[in-house]
Amino acid sequence: MNTLLFLVLFPLVPAFLLLIFPFQQFRAWVTRLSVATIIAGSVYAAYQFFFTSATFYSLPAHYIDKGMFVIEALIALFIVYAGIRYKKYLASILAILSFGAMAYFEFTLAHNVHIEQNVFIDRLSVIMTLIIGIIGGLICVYAIGYMKDFHHHHKEMKDKRRFFFFVLFVFLSAMFGIVFSNNIIWLFFFWEITTLASFLLIGYTKTPEAINNSFRAIIMNLLGGLAFALAIVYLAKTGGPLELDKIIAGKGAIAMIPVALLCFAGITKSAQMPFSSWLLGAMVAPTPTSALLHSSTMVKAGVYIVIRLAPVLQNTQVGNMVALVGGITFVSAAFIAVSQSNAKKLLAYSTVSNLGLIIACAGIGSEATVWAGVFLIIFHAIAKSLLFLCVGTIEHKLGSRDIENMDSLIVTMPGLTMMVIIGICGMFIAPFGMLISKWAALKAFITIPSYMSPLMILFIAYGSAVTVFFWTKWMGKITAANRPAEKTHPLQKSISGDEWISELIHALFTVAICFIFPLVSAFLVEPYISEVYGSAAGIGKSNYIIMVIMVALVILLPLIDFFFQRTLKTKQGAAYMAGRNESPNRVFDASLGMKRELSLKNYYLENIFGEKLHMRIGVITATIVILVMIGVSFI
């Protein structure tokens, strides 16, 4: 248990250190060392609990409970104040309501509640710990170099980096708290801290747009928090269990209302429709925020709780509605992503889409879908975080986030482009991770007995068709080598070491996890599923072998052939431009003897896949489904 406590409490140390001292070198070294420690701690925790089933611990709860309540009061006060100051009264109202519910619980019901086992760790927690520790930590290292560049570019912004890193580490601490809490009151406490962290980080630059978007985020997340609090009150009032493991084991016996409310909280936190707009708005924040909170970690807390509840959701109408919300989000967000040329928005919509798929898997709740869902979490966290980090670096070096400006990136920054390619491949290509999960999810959806089966299949069929489109488009743009190769790469050389190391390790992980995922499945995911469901799931040995061979081939073949090419003498020719080429490609003889440079832009299909249209469709259908979900839970 000491490892668990260490992981939750240790990040507070660098948090306060970095809050107090402003020196850049100090900041860099404290971050690097703390992250190394956190990673070591996560790996050690994984190693400790690798082979064991769920382990529970009790902590003397009385003082911790009171302390949490006090901190929650302070947070509520702060939000009320911020809401009034910026005239976003809805935020203040929601904060008061949410805190009011907890206060009601604390003062009237809490003395009836005695929870023995507050802390636990099982294999799903181990997976989440590794993700939070390694990926989250690496993002903090990346932030060192990135924030230095950020303030260098934006001299007009106040340099509040002390505060930024403070919030980052507090956030890591809270995430560890979420995955180790068995007591859902404690879970709620850490949940609210992540909401607050998100609010503070999105509003970092304090521009009007940032402030608006941070309030949008906090209002939607507070709505989810309110649902969470109401679930706690309901459970306490009806004598239901307040421990996560008992809730999950109470399948069939437990009322669905608190489960529906908890799922609602998960839906808001993971930016499902109709609450997706906060994640999109969060893209104004500096890239480490986008990577950490909004792709690999905080939103994973939302899907984490729904996946935890998956056994309870199986074969229930509430579960079906949750899966429907996930499916609608998956398809709508994928459609919108086709029409986006802003790289961060594209990544955001892709994130929302993949989270939708995870929620759909969790809502259906069978062994096979949960297997797929957990793997989606793992693969998505790594690959998406890699992509966000790379896009952040590209934005600083090129001065633009637009994919259309990333033409021929492989010539100017080959190393970085390779990593973007690895990230993109990790998102949609067989045999890389996301595809394995999508494949497993499709197989799982075919076998579910309810009416959800055809619907889910429809969603996956259409949703995954469009993902090929927008990822390949981007990959093509950056790998096209229009300009002659350069000997030195000055732009690339100016990338800071921290950013490089972080991105490189991410890329290595993306590739490595595709090789070792059979082991992860055998040792972590399948045992977890057996534990929770009593039976196992998996995808068959022969398929594992095929996939691993394919990963090897996909990496080796192009490399081998590329080097083989150098020995062959092929004639280098010009591209066909109806005979009017001038210099090596691109420039051609236009009319009146002028020389024009060719520019090619991708298809974005805005009239078919426009953002407005699909957001509206998604929001309306998802709202209806959520209302049905809440209604059905009363039955």
Partner 1 sequence: MKPLYIGLIYVAAAPLLGGLLAGFDRILTARMQRRVGPPILQPFYDLFKLLQKRTIVVNRLQNPYIFCHLVFMIATGFLFFEGSDILLIIFVLSLSAVFFILAAYASNSPYSFIGAERELILIMTYEPMVILSLVGIYMVTGSFNFYEIIGSGKVLIKYLPGVFAGFVYILTMKLRKSPFDLSYSHHVHQELVKGITSDFSGRTLAMIEMAHWYENIFLLGFIYIFVSFNPWIGAAIVAAIYIFEILIDNVFARVKWQYAFRMGWIVAFFLGFSNIVVLYIMGR
Partner 2 sequence: MHYDGSSCNGCDIEVLACLTPMYDVERFGVINTGNPKHADILLITGSVNEQNVDIVKNLYDQMADPKVVVAVGICACSGGIFAECYNVKGGVDKVIPVDVYVQGCAARPESIIDGVVKALGVIEEKKRTMNEVKVG
Measure the CA–CA gap between 478 and 408, rounded to whole angstroms. Answer: 5
Residue 481 lies near partner 1 (rule: CB under 8 A): yes
CA distance 411 to 415: 10
Cα three-residue angle 487-389-615, rounded to 5 degrees:
125
Residue type, 109: L
Task: List the x/- string, 263-292, binding to partner 1 by CB under 8 A.
Answer: ------------------------------
141 binds partner 1, rule: CB under 8 A: no
Q: Contact between 96 and partner 1 (CB under 8 A)?
A: no
Which residues in 547-606 contact partner 1 (CB under 8 A)?
Answer: 547, 550, 553-554, 557-559, 561-562, 565-566, 570-577, 585-586, 598, 600, 602-603
587-589 vs 595-597, strand pairing mode: antiparallel
CA distance 86 to 90: 11
Show Cβ contacts of residue 150 under 8 Å, excluding neighbours closer than 6 positions: 157, 286, 396
Q: Which of 58, 315, 543, 581 binds partner 2 (CB under 8 A)?
A: 581
Helix boundaries (H) for 238-314: 244-249, 256-269, 277-281, 287-291, 298-308, 310-313
Instruction: Find which of partner 1, partner 2, none residue 175 binds, CB within 5 to 8 Å per kind.
Output: none
Dist CA 444 CA 330 (whole Å) = 17
Using rule CB under 8 A, residue 435 touches partner 1: yes
**Beta strand residue intervals within 17-80, DSSP E:** 55-57
Q: Which of 451, 563, 576, 634 binds partner 2 (CB under 8 A)?
A: 576
Q: Which amino acid is at 378?
A: I
Give, as one character, the DSSP assignment of residue 108: I
- By a kind-dependent CB cut-off of 5 to 8 A, residue 253 interacts, out of partner 2, partner 1, none, with none
592 binds partner 2 (CB under 8 A): no
> Which of partner 2, partner 1, none sits in contact with 593, Cβ below 5 to 8 A by type?
none
Contact call for residues 477 and 403 (beta carbons, < 8 A): yes
Of the candidates 161, 397, 401, 477, which one interacts with partner 1 according to CB under 8 A?
Answer: 477
Q: Six-digit token pair at 435?
A: 């595809």
Q: With CB under 8 A, what is the number of residues at the site for partner 2?
A: 9
Question: From the list partner 2, partner 1, none, which binds 632 (C-beta under 5 to 8 Å, kind-based)?
Answer: none
Q: Please name every residue paired with 581 in a beta bridge, in sequence order, or none if there are none.
A: 588
**Contact flag: residue 572 with partner 2 (CB under 8 A):** no
Site for partner 1 (CB under 8 A): which residue of 543, 617, 630, 632? 543
CB 325 within 8 A of CB 625: yes
* Binder of residue 552, out of partner 2, partner 1, none (CB less than 5 to 8 A by kind): none
Binding mask 531-570 for partner 2 (x = CB under 8 A): ----------------------------------------
The yes or no reply on residue 58 touching partner 1 (CB under 8 A) is: no
Backbone angles phi, psi at 587, to 5 degrees: -100, 130
What DSSP element (H or E) covers 213?
Answer: helix 208-237
579 binds, among partner 2, partner 1, none (CB under 5 to 8 A by kind): partner 2
Tokens of 242: 């307040």
Regarding 156 and contact with partner 1 (CB under 8 A), the answer is no
Amino acid at 518: P
Shortest distance, position 589 Cβ to partner 2, whole Å: 7
**Residue 589 interaction partner, one of partner 1, partner 2, none, beta carbon < 5-8 Å per kind:** partner 2
Q: What angle do CA 298, 83, 304 make, to 5 degrees?
A: 15
Instruction: Give the residue with the Cβ less far from partner 2, 405 or 581.
Output: 581
User: Position of tokens 């259409």?
Assistant: 462
Sites of contact with partner 1 (CB under 8 A): 429-431, 435, 439, 442-443, 446, 451, 453-454, 457-458, 460-462, 464-466, 468-469, 472-473, 475-477, 479-482, 540, 542-543, 546-547, 550, 553-554, 557-559, 561-562, 565-566, 570-577, 585-586, 598, 600, 602-603, 608
Sites of contact with partner 2 (CB under 8 A): 571, 573-574, 576, 578-581, 589
